[in-house]
Structure 1
C-alpha cells in the first residue's frame, strides 16, 4: 500500500481504527475521519508513532454540509484518493431526525456512504485503480421494505432490526453503485466484520438495557470484553478489500467475516428494493455518480 492514500471514516476507534492501523502498517498514507477533534488527533498520533503517515480530519457525517466540507478539505490537500473505507455506522433509538430531516440510522449507515462516495468520486477517478469499501454489520439480509426505509411507518428500534434494515439497504446501494461506476476504474465492495465489543456496541448496549435487552445486560457486560475484544479480527475483511492484490479490478462483491466471498442476500438482488434505496439516496443526497 506504499504510496497510496486511504480515507477511513469512523477511524478514531473500534473497527475503523484497527482498519486504519492495518493499512498504515502496510505503508499507506492514512486519513482518519472522526467527529471529535481531540480523539481524532490522538488516534493519528498513536497510529503514526512508528513513522506511518497518518492525518486526522473532523466532520459530522450525519449532515450533508459536514460531508461536503470533508470532501472539499480532502480535495484541497490531496490530488487523488486510492481507497475510501466507509466504516462509520450507528443506531438511534427512539426515531430521530438529523438537521437535514433524515432518519438518523438511515443517514449514518446508507446516505453518508452514498453521498461521501459521490463527493469524492473525482479524487477516486484520479487514482489508477481506486477502491471503495462499505462496511455492513449487525445481522443484515432480511427483507428491504421500500415503504419503510426511514422507519416512517414502523420504527424497529432496539431489537436492532432498524440497524439491520439499514445495513441491508447499504448492501443494495453498494451493489448498484458498483454497477454505475464500473467503467470508471473504481471498484465498490462490501465487507462484513462480524461481531466485536466496540465502543459503539458498548454505548448501544448500555442504551438498550432499559428496554428489550435489560435481562441480558449482565451477560453482555461479562462476556463482551472477554470474547469480542480482539478488534484486529473484525478489521480483516475491510483490510482485505482495501489492499489485497486479489481484489484488483473486482467489483460488486460481498466478503464475510472469514474473508471469503459470499452470495448477496436475496433482498439485495431484489431490483425493486434496490431502486427504492437508490432513488432515496439520490433525492436526499442531492448527488449521483
Structure 2
C-alpha cells in the first residue's frame, strides 16, 4: 500500500520513534513512515543491528540502542531522545515478546509483562513532555497474538499460572496493553490508539524455541517454521495498521481507537471495556514504573 499525498503531507518533517525497529514489523513500520518524509528514530538493543537498519532505511533514519525491558533502559532512551529533539510527533510502541519459562527483569518485573505492557506505559510517560511539545502528537501501541480474552487482575505477571507461549501469557499481556492504552487515551495532550498487526513470521518467531510451547504442541514447531516463511513473510502487510494510526489524516486528534490488521476500526474486547480491568492494569503499571502521566 503506497502512501497518498495527504499522508505524505501529514508526515513530512515529523519526528517518529519506533521501538523494536531493527527488524520485523517495527522496521517495516519505520520504513513506511520514512518513505513519507518522516525523520525516524530506530530503537534496538544491539548497536550493530540498529546501525545496519538505519543505513538500510537511509538518511531519514537514525539509531539509538537501549534495553527497554528495564526501567533504567527506558529512562536512558528518553534522556537520549530528549537531548537530541525538542518534540516528538509520533511514538510507536512496537516492541514485544514472550519469555519461557517465567523470568523477571532486573527490576523484578515478569519479563513478558515488562516488555509488552510496562515498557509502552513507562516510555510514553517519560516522553510526554516531547509529545506535548508537538501539535497533535500520536502514540501507537501494538497488541498481538490472539488478544481479547479475559484479563485476570490477580495474574497480570503470571503469579498464579504461567504458560509462556503464544496462546497464554503473551496473549494475556497483549490484552492488558489494550486496557492500559484505553486508559492512557484519556490523558490530555496526546492521542493513544492501538494497532493489531495480524500474524507474521518475524525474526522473533524464528528465535522462539520449542521450549516456549507446551510439550503437547512442540511437534507443531517444525510445521510453523516450514510454513511461516512461505505464507507470513511479507511484513509490509502487518505494518499497515501501525502506519495508518501514525500517518492517516483521518486519525488526527482521534484517541482511544483500536484498529485491526486491515487498519479498520474495531470494537474493544469486553475485557478491555471492563473498568476494573483497566484500573488493575493502570495501577500496576504506575506502581512498577514509579511514574504517572
* Residue 193 (structure 2) aligns with: 189
* Residue 76 (structure 2) aligns with: 69
* Residue 143 (structure 1) aligns with: 150
* Residue 274 (structure 1) aligns with: 278
Which of 181, 185, 199 is equivalent to 2:203?
A: 199
* 1:216 and 2:189 correspond: no
> What is the rounded CA distance, in whole Å, between the counterparts of 1:70 and 1:158 in structure 2?
29
Change in Cα spacing, 1:212 to 1:107, as seen in structure 2 (3 Å) is farther
Cα displacement (A) at 1:213? 2.7
> What is the rounded CA distance, in whole Å, between the counterparts of 1:210 and 1:159 in structure 2?
10
* 1:95 and 2:99 correspond: no
Cα displacement (A) at 1:159? 5.2
> What is the rounded CA distance, in whole Å, between the counterparts of 1:212 and 1:79 in structure 2?
52
* Residue 231 (structure 2) aligns with: 227
What's the TM-score once normalised by structure 1's chain length? 0.96
Which of 16, 22, 29 is equivalent to 2:26?
A: 16
Cα displacement (A) at 1:208? 3.1
Per-residue displacement from partner, 1:145-173 (whole Å, max 9, x unpaired)? 00000001111222531000000000000
* 1:158 and 2:165 correspond: yes
User: 1:158, 1:212 within 8 Å by CA — same for their partners in 2?
Assistant: no
Point out where structure 1 has 5 or more consecutive residues left out of the alignment.
none
Secondary structure of the residue aligned to 1:30 is: strand
Per-residue displacement from partner, 1:215-265 (whole Å, max 9, x unpaired)? 212311221100000000000000000000010001000000011000000
* Residue 60 (structure 1) aligns with: 67
Q: State how 1:103-114 maps to structure 2 within 5 Å.
A: 103-114=110-121
Query: After TM superposition, what 4+ stretches of structure 1 lie above 6 angstroms from structure 2?
Result: none
Cα displacement (A) at 1:3? 1.0
> What is the rounded CA distance, in whole Å, between the counterparts of 1:118 and 1:191 in structure 2?
19
User: 1:158, 1:211 within 8 Å by CA — same for their partners in 2?
Assistant: no
* 1:253 and 2:252 correspond: no
Change in Cα spacing, 1:212 to 1:6, as seen in structure 2 (3 Å) is farther
Cα displacement (A) at 1:117? 0.1
Change in Cα spacing, 1:239 to 1:95, as seen in structure 2 (3 Å) is same
- RMSD value, Cα: 1.1
Secondary structure of the residue aligned to 2:191 is: strand
> What is the rounded CA distance, in whole Å, between the counterparts of 1:139 and 1:209 in structure 2?
15
Secondary structure of the residue aligned to 2:43 is: strand
Cα displacement (A) at 1:210? 7.7
Cα displacement (A) at 1:205? 5.0
What's the TM-score once normalised by structure 2's chain length? 0.94
* 1:178 and 2:182 correspond: no
Secondary structure of the residue aligned to 1:81 is: coil
Per-residue displacement from partner, 1:44-100 (whole Å, max 9, x unpaired)? 00000xxx4110000000000000010001000000000000000000011000000
> What is the rounded CA distance, in whole Å, between the counterparts of 1:136 and 1:207 in structure 2?
23
